[in-house]
Amino acid sequence: MSGHQKTEKGKYLLKWSDAAKLPFDIVLLFGSGFALAKGFELSGLSDWLASHLKILKSAEPILLILCIVIVVCVISEFASNVASIQLVIPILIAFQKELDLHPLLLMVPATLAASLGFMLPVATAPNTIVFGSRKLHVRDMASAGFLIDLAGILVITLVMMFFL
């Protein structure tokens, strides 16, 4: 068979019986995260939040990093990691300009922290796949995921100490 076959007129690429098998609850969870991130950006909420974070100007950079990692980790529990970082990066860009810090000092730990969500099904694609099997409950994921999240927060923060 050739890889360049054209579909015949009147034939569908996807049958309803196949589409009915899609986990629409999970598709909606991911989509809502992307919509939330886009709403923050378009509404100007990201810039507004960054302007109100000026009070943290005198804080130690390592404490800022720890706080950012914790906040991003928590956000990524409720939205996909891509949506979480899409939400946070515009805020951090404006924030790093206010603090006159190197951009990567905030962006790298935030990006790493966005992949830490291990407690809830929507947090990462592997969580969603495992939860979609219907063999795990949210409470099972939350109890194991909390410890993994905590370890990740500590590792990211400690590693970033070497770059200060």
Residue 4 lies in a domain: no
Q: For residue 157, what are the CA distances in angstroms to 20, 118, 160?
A: 44, 18, 5
Rounded to whole angstroms, the Cα distance separating 101 from 108 reads 13
Give tens-digit pLDDT for 22-69. 777 777 767 776 777 678 778 888 778 877 877 887 888 899 999 999
Select from 30, 35, 37, 36 the least CA-distant residue to 121. 30
Residue 62 lies in a domain: yes
- To the nearest whole percent, how much of the chain has pLDDT over 90? 26
Residue 101 lies in a domain: yes
| pTM of the predicted model as reported, rounded to 2 decimal places | 0.71
Domain extent, residue 140, equals 23-161
Rounded to whole angstroms, the Cα distance separating 50 from 53 reads 5
Residue 131 lies in a domain: yes
Number of domains in the chain: 1
Q: Are 100 and 137 in contact (CB under 8 A)?
A: no
Q: Which of 40-54, 66-80, 126-140 bottoms out in mean pLDDT, i.e. has the lowest?
A: 40-54
Torsion over CA: 10, 14, 15, 20 (sign): negative
Q: At 132, which amino acid appears?
A: G
- Rg (the chain; Cα; Å): 20
The predicted pLDDT at position 160 comes to 93
Residue 53 lies in a domain: yes
Residue 1 lies in a domain: no
Rounded to whole angstroms, the Cα distance separating 123 from 148 reads 13
Q: Are 123 and 77 in contact (CB under 8 A)?
A: yes
Computed over every residue of the chain, the mean pLDDT equals 83
Q: Are 95 and 106 in contact (CB under 8 A)?
A: yes
Residue 88 lies in a domain: yes
Residue 100 lies in a domain: yes
Name which residue leads in pLDDT, 136 or 74: 74
Alpha carbon distance, N-terminus to C-terminus of the chain: 57
